[in-house]
Amino acid sequence: MSRALSQIVDLDHTSGSPTSLLRTFVGLHLRDLGGWIRVAALLDLLAAAGVSNSSTRSAVSRLKGKGLLIPDKRGTVAGYRLGPGAVTGLERGDRRIFSYRGQRDDEPWCLVSYSLPEVDRSKRVQLRRALTGLGFGAVIDGLWIAPGHLRAEVEDALETLEVRKRATIFLTQTPLTAEPFAQAAARWWELDTLAARHSEFLGRYDHSAPHPSGSGHADSGPPACPEPREAFVLWLRCVDDWKAIPYVDPGLPPSALPADWPGMRSVELFAQLSRSLAEPARAHVREIAAGG
């Protein structure tokens, strides 16, 4: 897979791994620091999140191989800067991760039909991987479906893989299926697995979100403005656990989902955590990066 496409969707690393945490750190904070950070500051910050110095250095090597980080010594100070083109990929990720978009029942669907010969098997595998990573569901081999608002992202993926001329995109109303549409959707997407990911996120972080008095919780929860170091670690791990979910959950409309769907509750929880943790986390990173 090309570097450009790997920045569209990267499913190579399990959340919580040193490489995943470093990639999340880069996406959250490096642009805010002007695109460069001291090696010592990076090691200190990742150590606070439980990543050893040796594991951070190994993770840096992996991201250097993907073109995301480049060694950059400034004077006598060793550091890393964002690689060329990294900002575009990170901004694309921001839109997906921090701006969850749910589809209404009256909005169009995006269907992608393609045909690639056996000689292009590797491209076929890459395209399937990209479509899965963008949240498309497989109707049949060579025909994929997702909410219409993902049209631009799939156009980008097709162009990146140089298969746009082999694919046709349709914008259509809800497909007419033989069974109830929700049953068809359950075949096209692994909704049980996706629901489990939302429920896991809720179970892991619900206690970390501030809850107003009278919300039904035994107490008011943690303070709305935690200590910056605590906020940094919690926000880093929260985003690292969340970031893959908006890619595999394309924001299906109510008609395609079971009645007890946990997705919107986890979307709201992530928004609450962002409001309480993001700014103190940024403040902590700035302080450490500046040598505080």
pLDDT digits (tens, 9 = 90+) for 213-251: 444 444 444 445 678 999 999 999 999 999 999 988 999
pLDDT at 155 over 60: yes
3-state secondary structure (DSSP) of residue 74: strand
Query: Mean pLDDT, the chain, as a whole number?
Result: 89
Sign of the CA dihedral with 18 first, then 72, 81, and 35 last: positive
Question: Which pLDDT belongs to residue 89?
Answer: 86
Rounded distance, CA 130 to CA 4, Å?
12
- Map residue 39 onto helix, strand or coil: helix
Domain boundaries, the chain: 3-95, 109-173, 190-283
CB contact set of 161 (below 8 Å; sequence gap of 6+): 2, 5, 123, 126, 127, 130
Q: Per-residue pLDDT tens for 25-44?
A: 999 999 999 999 999 999 99
Length of the chain (residues): 292
CATH number for the domain running over 109-173: 3.30.70.240
Q: Domain 3-95: which CATH class?
A: mainly alpha
Q: Report pTM.
A: 0.85
